[in-house]
């Protein structure tokens, strides 16, 4: 790799593509019949989903007792998975909204896909608050609706804030995603000769005719929505962190939680996007759209957020010691040295140590290595939530009520099922919609924008 000229912006796409070529490349997966590999992948994810549905069936039939939750540890995999998936859902909107506002062109190749992942991850996450309740058939009580008893929800409960925060985030993300898709729907409409496809694309393209007016309105709406979505990126995980921070449990009741959760969410979200995109670019031959340079940048973000998370871990310990609150101190000692020390050290190794390898440019640009590191990051971030939820609860104020938590097979089945659910959507997404924004990609090919370099 030759020395990079930092005075110049790196090209977003590699190679010289004609606009037509780009359209062909991006639309290709939608225009050919799914191959065997697709069906194999789909059968795997559906099997995982089936396993999860089986676990859920057992849970609905017998009760939460099918899980490992016990008396001090009222929440475990249910809430861990919820926070984990909401976290995964963070990268998409960050990439598409915040990076858009900051004019980061390199987001072009990955934004659409990341947004899709956001939607699916939030859908996966939203399952958990519903299934974690003991009487899911009454989960409607969590929504404020007028009823003959005049019973209102309890607005001071962070769990209720979650309902609103996640609901809003999902809605805005979905609209943002859809608006971005409109020009591509129109492109697809023009390309296809299949009757049903044509009708479908026509409906969803909302009469888009690539007119200048359309583009003007589109750009404005997209900008406004990006502005809308930006605070949500920060608010969702802030509010999720309130589930813990608003409580009085040592280890939960800390003011560092909102920024720490947001950083962690971006961290894990990027790791998941990077993992999936590495596969996608290989399978769909998008190496020149989702370039090594893009991956390199994502890895840098992981390095930053990973370091932030590591700093938060240290800060938690420092504040626990500095506060002088005995219970708080013990909780943190207990995390590192107690019965769940194994989980804590998995977390530290995966989240703090492994991303530090991204200081090396070579590692940032070597696909197998970065893939493995990102997998580690996701494992680590899952364990971060495990450490927060389980270790704090299992040893709280009164030693008499302490108990060790052990998950059951049903817990595992539901965790696997959540991955199955997520990846099933991802797979269907790759075959139903262009995974890279054609319109935006075309806007960043060499020469698409006015340039001053040769003058």
Per CB under 8 A, residues contacting another protein are: 62-65, 68-75, 132-136, 138-139, 141-142, 151-154, 156-160, 163, 243, 246-249, 326-327, 330, 333-334, 337-338, 393, 396-404
d(CA 428, CA 430): 5
Residue by residue, DSSP assigns 288-325 as TTS-HHHHHHHHHHHHHHHHHHHHHHHHHHHHHHHH--
Q: Which is nearer to another protein, 142 or 174 (CB)?
A: 142
Minimum CB–partner distance for residue 63 and another protein (Å): 4
d(CA 85, CA 415): 11
**Integer CA distances (angstroms), 10 to 6, 132, 292, in order:** 8, 47, 11
d(CA 361, CA 224): 36
Q: Which is nearer to another protein, 300 or 329 (CB)?
A: 329
Residue pair 229/217 in contact by the 8 Å Cβ criterion? no
Burial of 336-374, coded b for 16+ CB within 10 Å and e otherwise, reads: eebebeebbebbbebbbebbebbeeeeebeeeebbbebb
Burial of 207-237, coded b for 16+ CB within 10 Å and e otherwise, reads: ebeeeeebeeebeeebeebbeebbebbbbbb
Minimum CB–partner distance for residue 72 and another protein (Å): 5
Minimum CB–partner distance for residue 342 and another protein (Å): 16
Minimum CB–partner distance for residue 329 and another protein (Å): 11
Q: Which is nearer to another protein, 266 or 413 (CB)?
A: 413
Return the C-alpha torsion angle 325, 327, 328, 329, nearest 10.
Answer: 80
Q: Which is nearer to another protein, 111 or 240 (CB)?
A: 240
Q: Which is nearer to another protein, 149 or 452 (CB)?
A: 149
d(CA 220, CA 356): 39
Choose among 30, 41, 15: nearest CA to 112. 30
Q: Which is nearer to another protein, 40 or 248 (CB)?
A: 248
Structure tokens at 305: 């957020």
Q: Which is nearer to another protein, 143 or 360 (CB)?
A: 143
Q: Which is nearer to another protein, 138 or 196 (CB)?
A: 138
Minimum CB–partner distance for residue 136 and another protein (Å): 8
Return the C-alpha torsion angle 331, 332, 335, 338, nearest 10.
Answer: -60
Minimum CB–partner distance for residue 402 and another protein (Å): 5
Choose among 277, 166, 41, 441: nearest CA to 449. 441
Q: Which is nearer to another protein, 151 or 224 (CB)?
A: 151
Minimum CB–partner distance for residue 87 and another protein (Å): 20
Q: Which is nearer to another protein, 164 or 359 (CB)?
A: 164
* 7 CB burial (10 A radius; 0-12, 13-18, 19+): exposed
Q: Which is nearer to another protein, 1 or 138 (CB)?
A: 138
Minimum CB–partner distance for residue 188 and another protein (Å): 42
Structure tokens at 116: 């899709």
Minimum CB–partner distance for residue 86 and another protein (Å): 17
Minimum CB–partner distance for residue 98 and another protein (Å): 30
Minimum CB–partner distance for residue 385 and another protein (Å): 14
Residue pair 385/80 in contact by the 8 Å Cβ criterion? yes
């Amino acid at each position: 790799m030759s020395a990079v000229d930092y005075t110049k912006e790196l090209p977003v796409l590699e190679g010289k593509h004609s606009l037509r070529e780009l359209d062909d490349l991006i639309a290709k997966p939608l225009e050919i019949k799914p191959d065997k590999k697709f069906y194999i992948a789909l059968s795997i994810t559906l099997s995982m989903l089936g396993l999860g549905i089986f676990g859920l069936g057992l849970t609905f039939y017998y009760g939460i007792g099918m899980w490992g939750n016990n008396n001090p540890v009222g929440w475990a995999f249910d809430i861990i998975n919820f926070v984990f998936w909401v976290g995964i859902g963070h990268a998409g909107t960050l990439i598409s909204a915040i990076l858009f506002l900051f004019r980061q062109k390199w987001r072009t190749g990955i934004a659409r896909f990341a947004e899709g992942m956001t939607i699916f991850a939030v859908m996966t996450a939203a399952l958990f608050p519903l299934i974690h309740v003991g009487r899911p058939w009454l989960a409607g009580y969590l929504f404020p609706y007028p009823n003959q008893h005049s019973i209102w929800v309890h607005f001071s409960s962070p769990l209720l804030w979650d309902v609103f925060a996640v609901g809003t985030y999902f809605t805005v993300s979905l609209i943002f995603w859809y608006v971005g898709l409109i020009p591509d729907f129109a492109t697809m409409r023009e390309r296809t000769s299949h009757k049903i496809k044509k009708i479908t694309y026509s409906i969803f393209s909302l009469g888009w005719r690539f007119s200048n007016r359309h583009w003007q309105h589109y750009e404005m709406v997209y900008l406004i929505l990006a502005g809308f979505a930006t605070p949500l990126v920060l608010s969702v995980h802030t509010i999720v962190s309130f589930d813990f921070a608003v409580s009085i449990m040592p280890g939960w009741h800390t003011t560092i939680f909102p920024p720490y959760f947001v950083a962690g969410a971006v961290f894990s979200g990027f790791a998941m996007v990077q993992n999936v995109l590495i596969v996608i670019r290989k399978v769909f031959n998008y190496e020149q759209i989702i370039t090594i340079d893009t991956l390199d940048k994502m890895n840098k973000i992981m390095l930053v957020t990973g370091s932030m998370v590591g700093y938060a871990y240290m800060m938690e310990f420092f504040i626990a010691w500095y506060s002088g609150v005995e219970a708080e101190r013990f909780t943190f000692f207990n995390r590192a040295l107690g019965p769940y020390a194994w989980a804590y050290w998995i977390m530290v190794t995966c989240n703090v140590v492994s991303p530090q390898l991204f200081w090396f440019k070579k590692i940032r640009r070597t696909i197998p290595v970065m893939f493995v590191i990102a997998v580690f990051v996701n494992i680590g971030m899952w364990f971060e939530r495990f450490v927060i939820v389980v270790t704090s609860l299992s040893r709280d104020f009164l030693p008499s009520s302490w108990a060790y938590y052990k998950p059951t097979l049903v817990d595992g089945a539901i965790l696997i099922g959540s991955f199955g659910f997520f990846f099933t959507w991802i797979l269907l997404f790759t075959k139903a919609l262009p995974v890279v924004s054609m319109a935006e990609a075309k806007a960043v090919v060499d020469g698409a924008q006015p340039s001053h370099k040769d003058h």
